[in-house]
Structure 1
């Protein structure tokens, strides 16, 4: 997704558009990037909550979910 948004930004910069239109499109791309980051943060938050809920009654599941959460976080997801 990041790569696609970066390509879109490049296309906008190179397009034969008015400065106003370029600015509008660049603002929309920036908004998409922000929403994408929020979604990633939401996924990590959701996984963390699941880990906390299972922590006392399911220690093996908790360990597995913790490793998945760490992997996703380290992968930038």
Structure 2
């Protein structure tokens, strides 16, 4: 890929991260909105760019449940 294509992909993945952080849309909905051919294609590209799966990224966004449980 050319440098500009890599840049555009990185920017698209940043948008995906933002959308995932809102937690209101499924991966398939995000893929559709950002014009990916499928949720799987988005998932694969997400892992290539970030080094993490979408599931891992979502887990990172969730509050630490152990700490919350310790509160009471």
TM-score band (shorter)?
A: 0.3 to 0.5
TM-score (norm 2): 0.36
By percentage of residues, which structure has more helix? 1
TM-score (norm 1): 0.34
Greater Rg over alpha carbons, structure = 1
